Homo-oligomer: A and B are copies of this chain.
Amino acid sequence: MTTLLSAAALAAAIREGRLTPLALAERCAERIAALEPEIGAFAALDLDRMRREAANEGPRLAGALLAGLPVGIKDIIDTADFPTRRGSPIYADHQPASDATAVRMVRRAGGLVAGKTETTEFAFMHPARTRNPHSAHHTPGGSSAGSAAAVAAGMLPLALGTQTGGSVIRPASFCGVTGFKPSFKLIPVNGIKVFSWSLDTIGLFAAGVRDAAFAMGALTGRDFALPDSSGTPRIAVVDAIATEEASPAAHEALAHAARLLARAGADVRPLALPEAVHAGNAAHGTMQEYEATLALADEWDRHRTLLSETLYTFLDAARAVTPEQYDEARRVARRARHALADAFADVDAIVTFSAPGEAPEGLHSTGIASFNRLWTLMGAPCVNVPGLTGATGLPLGIQIVGRFGRDRVALTVAAMLEDALAAG
């Protein structure tokens, strides 16, 4: 239904003179003008400015890594020239004084800021107005709803999101695009509205896995070139986290992905995670609760009548978490990270569910993060690989999880899966 915009291919076309930043900006602007009324991916948008910047800066940007590609920025990330509403009426008129570091990384790499993308309230669970580009009656997922939808609708080649529970991988799975949550702190979080400082991670959305790797290299100045051949990676199938929450379609998709990976030459084996790793799942909730009561202290103390009922109820209950419980959760998390590192000793990547299934019907909920929380807490790089659909015909992603700090390995295995899915 949509034609995704490949960031890597478009940047190459611009660098080689086959396309100009302005022509690309026009293409994106047309697509946005046509689809935005139905999808509602943007919280702030200025297509004329984008065209103007592409025209004025185009010749200079054409030689830069991102070559003037328009990039969407989740609306909990500060921008100096767009309001930043954080999905909350509390910040209806909020205009940050400066760009977040991640926004500056986009600009330094030669990207254009296309606009701000819709987020759930403070990147928690109260939904954004965004609709799934594959079906107006289904959620795009959250919290990075607008970023996922904008890329899935072919409005933009790239968009930044954040993940505290499953806010990059889940919407990527629901919208059928690549979502990449890098290792914790690989992209600095200065200038985002914090929900949980031990968990919040900036990630991105792109058409394909190689587009995500391309963007990561451009943004971070690190080597994200994926090898031509993926060799024989050792891949562990993990299906025993919240197993009962995964739909039959999700189980089928995971088994299918595992078979394809084996057929493509990977050494695929099941993996039972140690109990110490599973324990991290519960620690995530405690840490998120405790930190959110402090990170949102101003909003609670001064504006709580403007919070959604969902967030109000969450924060009200979260106040019961004691510092001692928080410290214990941090110890559990640390032990889980060590145990996971041990489990990764003879494994290159884990293949597992991205989400319980396709996007649920309705816009009242963005879905659940049961298959994402643990990996966020572990700080591990996670990739949603699109390409499959479920019984509803909607997208259903597969998640590749790598070892902390081994982001390129995770993307390499994800690209292998992407190729295998494309080949059938």
A interface residue numbers (CB < 8 A to B)? 80, 91, 94, 97-99, 101, 104-105, 107-108, 185, 188-191, 194, 197, 220-222, 291, 294-295, 297-299, 301-302, 322-323
Residue pair A80, B190 in contact (C-beta under 8 Å):
no
* Smallest beta-carbon distance A192→chain B, Å: 10
| Complex interface: chain B residues within 8 A of A104 (CB) | 294, 297-298, 301
Residue pair B297, A105 in contact (C-beta under 8 Å):
yes
- Output the nearest chain B residue to A194 by Cβ-Cβ distance: B190
Residue pair A298, B188 in contact (C-beta under 8 Å):
no
* 6 A-B pairs whose Cβ atoms sit less than 8 Å apart in the complex: A101-B298, A104-B297, A105-B294, A108-B301, A188-B291, A190-B194
* Smallest beta-carbon distance A25→chain B, Å: 21
| Complex interface: chain B residues within 8 A of A91 (CB) | 97
| Complex interface: chain B residues within 8 A of A297 (CB) | 99, 101, 104-105, 108
| Complex interface: chain B residues within 8 A of A323 (CB) | 220-222
| Complex interface: chain B residues within 8 A of A189 (CB) | 197
Knowing A99-B297, A295-B101, the reply to whether A302 touches B188 (Cβ < 8 A) is no
* Smallest beta-carbon distance A92→chain B, Å: 11
- Output the nearest chain B residue to A101 by Cβ-Cβ distance: B294
Knowing A107-B301, A301-B104, A301-B108, the reply to whether A188 touches B221 (Cβ < 8 A) is no
Give Cα A194 to B291, complex, Å.
18
- Output the nearest chain B residue to A104 by Cβ-Cβ distance: B297
Knowing A222-B323, A291-B188, A323-B221, the reply to whether A298 touches B197 (Cβ < 8 A) is no
For A99, give its contact among B80, B94, B298 (CB under 8 Å): B298
| Complex interface: chain B residues within 8 A of A222 (CB) | 323
Residue pair A80, B197 in contact (C-beta under 8 Å):
no
**Max chain B C-beta neighbours (<10 A), residue from A97, A197, A323:** A97
**Max chain B C-beta neighbours (<10 A), residue from A105, A222, A297:** A297
- Output the nearest chain B residue to A301 by Cβ-Cβ distance: B104
Residue pair B188, A294 in contact (C-beta under 8 Å):
yes
Give Cα A97 to B97, complex, Å.
10
Give Cα A377 to B327, complex, Å.
21
* Smallest beta-carbon distance A82→chain B, Å: 14
Residue pair B98, A295 in contact (C-beta under 8 Å):
no
Residue pair B197, A302 in contact (C-beta under 8 Å):
no
| Complex interface: chain B residues within 8 A of A190 (CB) | 194, 197, 294-295
In the A-B complex, the 10 residue pairs with the smallest Cβ-Cβ separation, listed nearest first, are: A104-B297, A98-B298, A190-B194, A99-B298, A101-B294, A222-B323, A188-B294, A190-B295, A94-B97, A101-B297
- Output the nearest chain B residue to A189 by Cβ-Cβ distance: B197
* Smallest beta-carbon distance A226→chain B, Å: 18
Knowing A94-B97, A323-B222, the reply to whether A295 touches B80 (Cβ < 8 A) is no
Residue pair B221, A197 in contact (C-beta under 8 Å):
no
Give Cα A94 to B78, complex, Å.
15
Residue pair A295, B188 in contact (C-beta under 8 Å):
yes
Give Cα A189 to B220, complex, Å.
24
* Smallest beta-carbon distance A236→chain B, Å: 26
- Output the nearest chain B residue to A193 by Cβ-Cβ distance: B190
Q: A80-B298, A188-B295 are in contact. List 7 more A-B contacts (CB 8 A).
A: A98-B298, A98-B302, A101-B294, A185-B197, A188-B197, A189-B197, A190-B294
